[in-house]
Chain A
């Protein structure tokens, strides 16, 4: 079945957006793994101190560079704008730190190709994929799920998973104004607001020392909550 999906992906224009900030050499491996799929890759360099383009020489991808660091939400929205201009059929968001697996993408876009959903969210907690999530991370994520539910009314099995797929309709409607990490919750508000059909699919997550260093600490979740409250206050 997976081959059939890859074939159908080849017939539609799929853009994978990779927001990146101060990544190291692992970035190249991440991008190369994506290029094995029938997709176009758009890297958004969110104002890294050392431009990321030299690390990716020779790879057939588009690089968008923010002249100043704005945050992951802003980088994703820049990628979305680019995808709209390029008239992409499907957009996938993919973290740059190597915690996702490119081979999960066909599974993720399948509900879109089958017209079952407008947006598909990756989840590390669905029973089909046994992910060993560090315990400290687990309770923060469960708390984030609850907060997302209280704010948006959408009860997910995961929170802040960077792997997602959107169809054209979702791409046209969704506009992220939260520049930093609160964008992941803002996305849920947008799903609710525009009555987008959503579903979740299991994805693999690899916790390496590198991705853990690049990832969000529990402390940052307080900042996210603060941004969320302010988002609701100042529409």
Chain B
């Protein structure tokens, strides 16, 4: 086993351990994670496999194929995260709005006539 394989496998092991602990109750996510880890480990241990697939897809090297697919996956992840941010923004807005409306109602409850305020 080469140094890079050891490095990558350790990385995968840590990441999967972290996710397994967090996703214990979510079966579907856990299965998806296991599939990903299995693919990752297979490709790390048998790098020639990626080369074979790459050649079938008309890409020069296996490493390039991995690189291209990662770009796609990252785009997907960014979009997912952005959707999440928008969701958060909307619930935050709702919260601020309710607060503003509630305070206005409290004010109108005991408002003195405007002529006395100046």
Contacts and interface: CB of A to CB of B under 8 A. Distances in A.
Given A74-B97, A81-B97, A58 B90 contact: no
Nearest to A177: B90
A66 B100 contact: yes
A65 B118 contact: no
Contacts of A233: 79
A145 to B, nearest CB: 26
A121 interface: no
B17 to A, nearest CB: 33
A38 B59 CA distance: 72
A68 B96 contact: yes
Nearest to A63: B104
B105 to A, nearest CB: 8
B93 A179 contact: yes
Nearest to B79: A233
Contacts of B107: 62-63
A230 B87 CA distance: 12
Contact of A64 (B83, B86, B104): B104
A78 interface: yes
A40 to B, nearest CB: 11
B101 A78 contact: yes
Interface in B9-67: none
B100 A78 contact: yes
Contacts of B69: none
Contacts of B103: 64-65
Given A58-B114, A234-B83, A64 B100 contact: yes
A234 to B, nearest CB: 5
Contact of A67 (B86, B100, B117, B118): B100
Contacts of A77: 93, 97
A60 interface: yes
A67 B96 contact: yes
Interface in A50-104: 57-60, 62-68, 70, 74, 77-78, 81-82, 85
A44 interface: yes
Contact of B114 (A60, A85, A234): A60
B54 to A, nearest CB: 31
Of all A-B residue pairs in the complex, the 8 with the closest CB atoms, nearest first, are A58-B118, A60-B114, A64-B100, A78-B97, A58-B117, A234-B83, A66-B96, A64-B104
27 contacts: A44-B100, A57-B117, A57-B118, A58-B114, A58-B115, A63-B104, A63-B107, A64-B100, A66-B96, A66-B97, A66-B100, A67-B99, A70-B92, A70-B93, A70-B96, A74-B93, A74-B97, A77-B97, A78-B97, A78-B101, A82-B101, A82-B104, A179-B89, A179-B93, A230-B82, A234-B82, A234-B83
